[in-house]
Amino acid sequence: MSLLDEKSLILGLQKGSIQAFEKIFSLYHKRIYNFCLRLYQSSDDAQETVQRVFVALWEQRVQVDENKSLTSYLYTIARYMVYQELRQQVYKKAAFDHFILNSIDLNESTKDEVLYNELLSFLESLIERLPERQREIFKLSRFSGFTYRQIADQLNITENTVDTQIRRALKFVRDKYKTHYN
Say yes or no: 24 and 99 in one domain: no
Question: In this structure, are residues 113 and 152 in contact, taking their beta carbons and an 8 Å threshold?
Answer: no
- DSSP for residue 2: -
Among the three residues 81, 114, 146, which one is the final residue of a domain in this structure?
81
Say yes or no: 90 and 177 in one domain: yes
Query: Is the per-residue pLDDT at 99 higher than 90?
Result: no
Question: In this structure, are residues 46 and 36 in contact, taking their beta carbons and an 8 Å threshold?
Answer: yes
Say yes or no: 127 and 43 in one domain: no
Domain that holds residue 36: 3-81
Cα distance between residue 24 and residue 1, in whole Å: 11
Query: Is the per-residue pLDDT at 7 higher than 70?
Result: yes
Say yes or no: 70 and 87 in one domain: no
Say yes or no: 148 and 96 in one domain: yes
Among the three residues 27, 50, 81, which one is the final residue of a domain in this structure?
81
Vertex 92 angle, CA 88 and 95, to 5°? 140
Provide the whole-model pTM: 0.52
pLDDT tens digits, 121-169:
888 888 899 999 999 998 888 878 888 888 998 899 999 999 999 899 8
pLDDT band at 106 (very low <50, low <70, confident <90, very high): very low
